[in-house]
Amino acid sequence: MKFIIALIRPEQLPDIKQALFDSEFRHMTASTVMGTAPKIEQKQFRGVKKEISLFNRIRLEIAVEDSKVEAVLSCISQGAKESGGYGKVFVLDLVDVMTVWTDDRGEDAL
């Protein structure tokens, strides 16, 4: 089992979500996070220039079977490219999963 974490821009979420849903991946978690970027932007607030180094990002988390990792990565890549192509994706080993109400474990819990 693998745990996929994608850090994307907020405007990319609808396209990525649609690509995942079209490929029958309907279970994910999305949360708003802050992240840095290679360049720092300067914005003006009430006449004062400020450097912005933290930007809003969306963190998608998806747990999948090993055989479905490439399909999920393809969906994320496809959806992200439709709205700018920015982001990072991390694939981690997932040791175990348990569904609380049924006590299913491992791939049965996914």
Q: What is the pLDDT along the chain (110 residues), one digit of tens a residue?
A: 999 999 999 999 999 999 999 999 989 999 999 988 777 777 777 888 877 778 899 999 999 999 999 999 999 999 998 877 788 999 999 999 999 999 999 988 88
Q: How far apart are CA 13 and CA 61, in angstroms?
A: 12
Please give the angle made by the CA atoms of 6, 32 and 9, to the nearest 5 degrees: 55
* Residue 81: domain span: 2-37+49-109
Flag whether 43 is in a domain: no
Instruction: Tell me how many domains the chain contains.
Output: 1
pLDDT digits (tens, 9 = 90+) for 87-106: 899 999 999 999 999 999 99
Q: Which residues contact 99 (CB under 8 A, 6 or more apart)?
A: 105, 108, 109
Flag whether 25 is in a domain: yes
Flag whether 44 is in a domain: no
> What DSSP string runs through 91-104?
EEE----B-TTT--
Flag whether 102 is in a domain: yes
Instruction: Residue 72: give its domain's CATH number.
Output: 3.30.70.120
Flag whether 15 is in a domain: yes
